[in-house]
Structure 1
Amino acid sequence: MTKVAESKIIVGLEIGTHKVVAVVGEVLPDGVINVIGSGVSPSKGVQGGSVVDLDAAVSSIQRAIEEAESISECKIMGVTLALSGAHITAFNESGTVPLSGEVKAEDLDNAIHIARSIKLPDGLETLHIIPQEYKVDRLPATKNPLGLSGMRLQAQAHLITCHNDWLRNLKNAVERSKLKIDQIIFSGLASSYSVLTEDEKELGVCLIDIGSGTMDVLVYTDGALRYSKVIPFGGYNITDYIANMLTTSRNDAENIKVQYGSAISPPTHFPEKKIEVAGLGGRAPRTFSKEQLSKITSQCYQDLLGIIANELTQLRTDLYQKGIKQELIAGIVLTGGGSQIEDIVECAKSVFGLQVRVGYPLNITGLTDYVNKPQYATVLGLLQYSHYNEDSDTTPQIPGEGFVEWLKKAVKKTVKFTKDKF
């Protein structure tokens, strides 16, 4: 070990349902992240952003950190940590202060402080407060009101909150791994720093980060974050559904999904390809075509994206009623591991009726061969965020229920788990 990970060297740590990833990067003068090391390990003891087995989670973190240290030749002392899960809740709030002439920096701070002073539901604490725009008296909204004259200043802000029990358990896992936590960032916000451009945020864009256990959804219009939410479903729900429909193991279902799944039916490539599915308990394997499989996987993706489409319909109505721009001219950006399934862009276009692209990490250099993929958008976004916010904070005829019904059962399990825990 020849260096210590401090100064301009930043370490991002994402503890997901499927994997734990650590990335070590050096911030260059132009804001580009030079990746000098990374480590990944299978995630154990984590479900949907929640630590459910502390010892297993600690072991997973330590393995990822050790690999990142070996590659980067850094001794990692502190990390910027990603946080997600269904406990994440967001609010749009306002704060108003009187003015004594021109708007000064302390007026902005005071207005934002009032916006964040709302009484939160029990157990929630503020993770981020992100200014949207300001208004001085009856003047049009502006991003920078400094120097304007008036009687009062109103600040509009987006608050992202988390449940303190979920946060405490995640922090315990990291700290037991002998790491200092420098910052904690909502994973969806981190991903937006990694894959979205400023032009997209101005024009209006929806980011969907499809992970194994959750989907992070963010909407920007006029350069401001208007909406953020965590949907408690992801790629593992699709894997479970495939395992149920094909009566095979979870591991085999995951491999089948990754290698042969498609988000549309019939798939664009090799629909006639044969897939052998191992049976359970010594039962004989069976053979399906890729097109038959696609009838399962495509319905799953349509249903998952349909949940978000319904959210966007309601959001557009809410923004319109408030006189805020609601058009998503830049369309949909998909990222995360779940965005890698074949034909996902075509599926999303049909669901949303908007242009769609898959988001890859931007502004990175160095050891990019391994991490320049959508599934690393969050952990690389942690480095970007830290740099820019240093002081912040038909289906085969197999008996089974439909995917929507499967998700409804998952919701009931999530609600029961939440009640039992809190």
Structure 2
Amino acid sequence: MPLPSSVDVAIVGAGAAGLGAAHALRDNGVTFIILEARNRVGGRGYTVQAAPDVIFDVGCGWLHSADQNSFVPIGEQLNFEIDRTLPPWRDRAFGEVFPERERREFYRAIDAFYDRLDEAALQREDCPASRYLEPGNRWNPMIDAISTYVNGCELDQVSLLDTDAYEDTEINWRVRRGYGALMAVYGAELPIAFNCNVTLIDHSGHGLSLETSQGRLTADKAIITVPTNLIADEAIRFSPTLPAKVDAAAGLPLGVDDKVTLLLSEPEALPKDGNLRGLTMRTEMGTYHLRPFGQPCIEGFFGGRYARQLEDAGEGAFAAASIDEIVSYLGNDFRRKLTPLAESRWAHDPFARGAYSHALPGHAGDRAILAAAVDDRLFFAGEATSPNFFSTAHGARDSGERAAREVLAVKKGKR
């Protein structure tokens, strides 16, 4: 839609947080618009049809803590099928690539590591989570690999207290048509100005003035939902400056996580919804979801420094690394069965600059700092502001709803 000259509330970003904020503002007597730099909704939630019979969530794909996930009832209301198949993790590994005896030993080691983290967190003193790796444990590199999938970084960059704050009910479902596809429908009827990149928010006067790639907009209030890296890098500037927000965002950087999908020409050779991970004893490794939803493909997942290295190597690097690793597990005959379809490069996306947030050691308290409103005019949302469901799409959506309720409370004089 065209950019209006003035609104009551400007929402910056049409990712999950922006959509949650917009839905909470509807029918509450305020005018609002979402300003989205991309040409689509969803932000880091994005589904593509990678092949005629393969849908691929380029971004978020799992309904984490599904029994508490607000996107589950939303999906059901919008007639999206919720797939409750168990995720291909822990004991659902494929074949002898990672033998059962070795898997059990690994999971004993990683469970003991998390038990040590839980006990240490009771002391309320923050430090790198890596401090609680058992010195010399053969499984430490793979435990670190798990961190790259969960946090987007290795354990030396992860806050102990932030890790302890995360809530996980260990119920994980999926959206059959794609999580990004669900977000697209969720945002379909909202007022959104696409290709509208916000560069400056001037809050020096009584109202707000927002400079965008489509011109200037004034608003009484704004809800800022962009990823932390954009705030930390001052891709969006504030006047007067907000050093506490910039510092908090810098303490909550987006890690790097990326995905690739490979077409499988002989799908019957592999089990539906299985997992392939090798006994590698290294952190630089992928993990592979075999035939998600029974589709004829393999979905690979990479994180941390290794994912950044592959991103920097350019387009096609994830597919090449995936094929080489899968062939090393299953034999060279598999090379002819695999064809690259699509991959992500979130750290190189100018409007994301990473996958999802983690708190650096000593910065667990930055989530509350980032979430706090400024002068009852600037409100902040996004997964990084969620106290317990950070790094998730539903945590982002719920934070947007929270920010919208704060806006409405100010307007009604209840704050």
TM bin (shorter chain): under 0.3
- Greater relative CO (CA pairs within 8 A, separation 6+): 2
TM-score, normalising length: structure 2: 0.27
Greater Rg over alpha carbons, structure: 1
Identify, as 1 or 2, the structure richer in strand: 1
TM-score, normalising length: structure 1: 0.26
